[in-house]
Amino acid sequence: MERKHMSALSIYQSLSGGTKPQVQVKMLHMRDCIRTKENNHHFSAKLLIKSSSSVLASNIMNTIYNIYSVLNFSPHDLLFFQEKDCETHNGEGFESPALDALLTDLTKVNNSRDRANRLFQWLLHPVQDKSFFRDNWEKKPILIQRQNPDYYKGLFSTAEFDHILRNEDVQYAVNLDVTSYTNGKRETHNPPGRALPYTVWDFYESGCSLRMLNPQAFSSSVWQVLSILQEKFGSMVGANVYLTPAGTQGFAPHYDDIEAFILQLEGKKHWRVYNPRREICNRLQAKTDMLVDSDVRRPHILVRRDAVWTLILTAPIHCRASIGEQWIISPNLMKMPLDYLQFMGVQNSEKEDPRRDKFIAHVEGLMKKLVSFAPADAAVDQKARDFLHDCLPPVLSAEEKASSVYGAPARWGDGEALDVTVQLKGQTQIRLVRAGAARLCGDGETVSLFYTTENSRVYRKEEPKSIEMKAEHIDAMEFLIHSYPKFVSVASLPCEKMEAKMSLAELLFEKGLIHTAEPLTAE
């Protein structure tokens, strides 16, 4: 079907032709890396990047920064780490800004995708991101060592952990887990209700580990870091924080099915990372990821530091390496480039980009005759909707707040509502608050704009946020999306009538999806 010069609405409607095939998919790749932790008081944080594979561990004196690589493998063809595959990089001779200075500088970066690239490079420093994706991502583990125990200072701390317990509504099982692992048995000790310091620290003194499930809901620094990184990976980036007392272990040996960047922020710890093992393949299919000591043998990565209390933040990246679960029945699952959302999907269907040609050619090669029943753009949009549901809302700078709905002058005074009417005009310059804050998706009958600005800082606490678009607004919305990071005037939006241009701009402003080049004032 020739799509050139078709309206966006026509393209979306064309997706509904014919009966949608009911494709049952069997995921044949398993992602696994087994690890155990032995600590003397340990606090760690886990950044979750849900993808397929890569292990990065970086030991920074008292700070150990690990990225676990979860290798793609089938039950019949396990891939094992080799000792020679583990690289070590010493950070001597390199300079990198402190986190607070970096985040301040990033607010001055005009493009949110450039912002994400810079923050990710800081996370990997001194390893270059190009070499990391070429040599390590989904291939082999990497250990980065830095001689700077304060590298992650300002991200999270035990002092902030205590402050959150004292001042926020932290609920057991929702925001905090209390766990222990003794004599080969893992237990959870969550009482009902709010987690108050008196009880929490008593658990800790008794040898229990504390896991904060969503620190981004309480910590502005963690929220800001994760919300920036999610535009790098085109997927949700979450976080867990672990605080473990000296001489204890909070969890059994286990595996992750996500990419995990693990930053040891405080204390010292003894890490063991094991190879996946053929004998336990069947167990990996089970509902639990917990193993027993007999399941693991010699560790592949062994990092020793005299064990005292430890604080760790783990950030998992929740992108999957394949879109096979959407519509592919072939075992040859398709690897997804990290930036696929930028050139695939119906909103990009008329975009001239060599990456689209390469992507679609690969799909056609995999699908052959089935490709006519499996539109790649529609499949990508299914994943995009899930991604936008997972996402954290953007963290706006002071300037962005002042020029958005959050800085509108409306207030209460003298017994009435004042300065309520903020007037957008034809010459008003607008742009999206973030490149990935909104996306057009169609189901063949309607076109909806899915967006992240009203998401919760707690994972999927809210239902997906979307607006059904009027036909007169669709082309204008595409224009605005593709214009980012440039500001464009309301009058330049490609709607037939000025009334339609204004109504779209006002809708997007009210939802916090756009901000203006200059703060608006009330009429």
The answer on 381 and 311 residing in a single domain is no
Work out the pLDDT band at 276, boundaries 50, 70, 90: low
Mean pLDDT of the region 77-89: 28
Residue 385 main-chain phi, psi, to 5 deg? -65, -40
- pLDDT given at position 293: 53
What is the predicted pLDDT for the residue at 292? 52
Residues 301 and 395 in one domain: no
- pLDDT tens digits for 384-439? 899 999 999 999 999 999 999 999 888 888 889 888 877 899 999 999 999 999 99
Cβ neighbours of residue 3 closer than 8 Å, sequence gap 6 or more? 11, 14, 349, 350
Q: What band does 270 get if pLDDT is binned at 50, 70 and 90? A: confident
Q: What would the mean pLDDT of 375-391 be, rounded to a whole number?
A: 86
Q: Could you list the beta-strand ranges (E) of 395-446.
A: 411-413, 416-418, 429-432, 438-442
Residue 124 φ/ψ, nearest 5 degrees: -90, -15
The answer to whether 308 and 243 have CB atoms below 8 angstroms apart is no
Last residue of a domain, one of 301, 316, 331: 316
Residues 312 and 382 in one domain: no
Do 501 and 430 share a domain, yes or no?
yes
Whether residues 407 and 311 fall in one domain = no
pLDDT in tens, 211-232: 999 999 999 999 999 999 999 9
Shared domain check, 309 and 402: no
Residue 444 belongs to a domain with what CATH number? 3.90.930.40
Residue numbers of the domain that contains 250: 87-316
User: What is the count of structural domains for the chain?
Assistant: 2
Residue-level pLDDT at 275:
64
pLDDT tens digit string along 432-466?
Answer: 999 999 999 987 788 999 999 999 998 888 999 99
Instruction: Please check whether residues 262 and 158 belong to one and the same domain.
Output: yes
Residue 324 has pLDDT above 90, yes or no: no
Domain final residue, candidates 316, 333, 363 = 316
Is 180 a member of any domain? Answer: yes
Q: Do 306 and 386 share a domain, yes or no? A: no
Over residues 17-59, the pLDDT tens digits come to 433 333 222 222 223 333 344 444 445 555 554 433 222 222 2
| 298 shares a domain with 168 | yes
Residue 357: pLDDT over 70: yes
Domain membership flag for residue 173: yes
Residue 109, pLDDT above cutoff 50? yes
Please check whether residue 495 lies inside any domain of the structure: yes
The burial class, CB within 10 Å (0-12 / 13-18 / 19+), for 488 is middle
The verdict on 156 and 238 lying in the same domain is yes
Residues of the chain with pLDDT > 90, as a percent, come to 39
pLDDT of res. 373? 59
Tell me what pLDDT residue 261 has.
Answer: 79
302 and 440 in a single domain? The answer is no
3-state secondary structure of 194: strand
Give the model's pLDDT for residue 186: 85
Q: Would you say residue 17 lies in a domain?
A: no
The CATH number of residue 119's host domain is 2.60.120.650
The full DSSP string for 455-518 is: --SSTT-SPPEEEEPPHHHHHHHHHHHHHTTS-EEGGGS--SSHHHHHHHHHHHHHTT-EEESS
58 phi, psi to nearest 5 deg: -125, 125
Mean pLDDT of 242-263: 77
Which residue in the block uniquely carries the two structure tokens 């899915």? 450
In the chain, pLDDT over 70 holds for what percent of residues? 66
- Whether residue 12 lies inside any domain: the answer is no
Note the pLDDT of residue 89.
40
Classify residue 512: in a domain, yes or no.
Answer: yes
186 DSSP β-pair partners: 181
The answer to whether residue 493 sits within a structural domain is yes
Mean pLDDT of 332-336: 54
Checking if the pLDDT of 88 tops 60, the result is: no
Statement to judge: residues 235 and 130 lie in one domain: yes
pLDDT, residue 52, reads 31
Of the two residues 363 and 507, the one the predictor is more confident about is: 507
265, 286, 316: which is the final residue of a domain?
316
| Domain contains 153 | yes
Looking at 100-104, 327-331, 338-342, which range is the least confident one? 327-331
d(CA 219, CA 215): 6
The contacts of residue 5 (CB under 8 Å, 6+ apart) are none
Query: Which is more confidently placed, 456 or 289?
Result: 456
Q: Which residues pair with 261 in a beta bridge?
A: 47, 315
Q: How many Cβ atoms from other residues are within 10 Å of residue 118's Cβ?
A: 18
Q: Please give the residue that has the higher pLDDT: either 91 or 9.
A: 9
- Mean pLDDT calculated for residue range 190-214: 94
